[in-house]
Structure formats: C-alpha cells, structure tokens
Structure 1
Amino acid sequence: MIKIYHNNRCRKSREGLEIIENSGKEFEIVSYLDNPPTIEELNQLIKLLGITPIELVRTNESIWKEKYKNVKLSDDEIIELMAINPKLIERPIVVNDGKAVVGRPPEKIKSIL
C-alpha cells in the first residue's frame, strides 16, 4: 500500500496527496507532525530514498537556521534531530512497493505509482 508522510499545511504535500488520490490506488496518510517517525523509520526512509540524512532536512526552517546551520553533526545526530523536530523533515515523502521519493516537485510521485 502507498504511504504518504503528509503535512496538510504544506502546498506541495497537498498537491502530492492529490496525485495519489487521483491514482485510484489505496493509500495511507501519515500525519508525521502529529505522529513523528522513529529513528528506525527515518533510517529506513533514508535508505529507500537513497539519500544522506542531511538531504532530508528542511534547511530553510527557522529551527535549523537558528540552532544547527553552522554546527557539525553526524548522520545519527541529524536523524535524531528529525525524530525530535519532525518539522525539519522534507515533505511529502511517498513510499510504494519498496521505493520512495520526496515529492518535490509533486510530479516525482508518479514515478513510483
């Protein structure tokens, strides 16, 4: 089943959800700000995405700019920060059949549907 890590306040995330809804396929919405992914889930998502942890961070978020922008952090520390501060996680993330994409732009989601 398709899973979307979604933030309804984000336009790109809403556009991504619309693409999934229009696919007619069954899906699950994870409101990740209310139910943050665990460190293990984040590690799995990063692996599926084929990226480094810093590539999943929203580096323009004020919390990142104010506290971490010029701090040297390990991959594990970055993942821990995202688990504690899910607002730092790039969105939307869509997982389907062992593949994942960050839906930026939202059209990238179509590649795994």
Structure 2
Amino acid sequence: MPVPERLEQFAARHARTDPAPPTDPRVPLESAGGRNRRRVNGGPMEIWINPECSKCQSALTILDAEQADYTVRYYLEQPPTVEELNEVLAHLELEPWDIARLGEPLAGQLGLATWPREAADRDRWTAALAENPVLIQRPIITADDTASIARSPEAVHAALRRNDNDPTPSN
C-alpha cells in the first residue's frame, strides 16, 4: 500500500472531530468532547502521542492490529501534569532526564544537555517537561501500574503482553 494512502487511513482512524478540549485529562472521550483524547475499544491503556510522529503512528497501527483497548492522548495539546509525569516516571523506573528529547531545538535553547542530573534537580527537569511537552519522549503507553516508552514494535508488543497479564477484571 502506498505511503500516502496509509497516512490517509491513519488520519481517518485517529481523526479528532470536536474542537472543544476536555478539561480533565482522565475524562473518557464520551464526556470530554474527544478533541485531545480518542477512546478505541473503551480500553484501560492510554498512549501519549504526537500524530506527526512516525513512531507514534507505528505504535497505533500495532495496537489497532492487535485490537487493543486504549485511549489516545494528544500530549502536546494536553500536556501531562507534573504529578502525572512523576507517576509515569515511577512506573518506568526512570528519571525525567531519561525521557527528555535532548535533540529538540527547544532543548538546546533551554540548555537541557548541561543541566545537572541529580536527585536535587529532578523537580526542575519534571517541571520543564510538563511546561514543554515537546521535550517528552514518545510514544508512552500507560496502563494501571505500568508504563512503556514504545518507540519500537517490540516495546509496543511488550506493553500489550503486560496489559494482557493484568489480573484486574474488565467491565
């Protein structure tokens, strides 16, 4: 299938139709207006994406192919809070500098590469990521008490396996 046709199909599957953004990042699509989040199969997983990112597009394609239940969060338009970032970082078992996109022009403008990477600097890093979500590595898949940076097909499949092994009953 030619690339333009695949991109059109991707855009059609993940299009946002309502211009009103939700006020609460955890509100399901049905009550949030759907602009910054899109529920697919009503699922417990959430994937933070930039729709322009090829890694995000690939991750969504895999989730769709596996008929996964997930919610899309357009995290550039609806940035995670510092608290959400801290929760995801705890699940990832990483520090904020580990998920920073240091190659972004904004990272260079802020001088992120030169910032100290010590426990005392963690809040500064987390605040910078929350204020500038373009600096957050993507895509990130979250589910209950797990999180994955899903840049490769293997990472997406691993996130699906972890979610499948969740003993929590679904409704």
TM-score > 0.5, shorter chain as reference: yes
Instruction: Tell me if 1:65 matches 2:112.
Output: no
Instruction: Tell me if 1:94 matches 2:144.
Output: no
Q: Name the Cα RMSD after superposition.
A: 1.3
Cα offset, 1:67, TM superposition: 1.8
Listed as ranges, the gaps of 5+ residues in structure 2 are 1-43, 161-171
Instruction: Tell me if 1:28 matches 2:71.
Output: yes
Listed as ranges, the gaps of 5+ residues in structure 1 are none
Q: Which amino acid aligns with 1:50?
A: E
Distance between the aligned counterparts of 1:64 and 1:106, measured in 2?
27
Q: Which amino acid aligns with 2:124?
A: E
8 Å CA contact 1:13, 1:106 repeated in 2: no
Map Cα deviations across residues 60-94 of structure 1 (whole Å, 9 max, x no partner). 11111222222336111000001100000000000
Flag the structure with larger Rg.
2
Instruction: Tell me if 1:76 matches 2:119.
Output: no
TM-score by length of 2: 0.63
Cα offset, 1:97, TM superposition: 3.9
Q: What is the percent sequence identity of the aligned residues?
A: 30
Cα offset, 1:106, TM superposition: 3.4
Judge which range, 97-106 or 82-91, deviates more. Answer: 97-106
Judge which range, 30-39 or 90-99, deviates more. Answer: 90-99
Distance between the aligned counterparts of 1:47 and 1:67, measured in 2?
25
Please state whether the residue corresponding to 1:8 is helix, strand or coil.
Answer: coil
Distance between the aligned counterparts of 1:43 and 1:106, measured in 2?
25
Structure 1 segments (4+ residues) deviating >3 Å: none
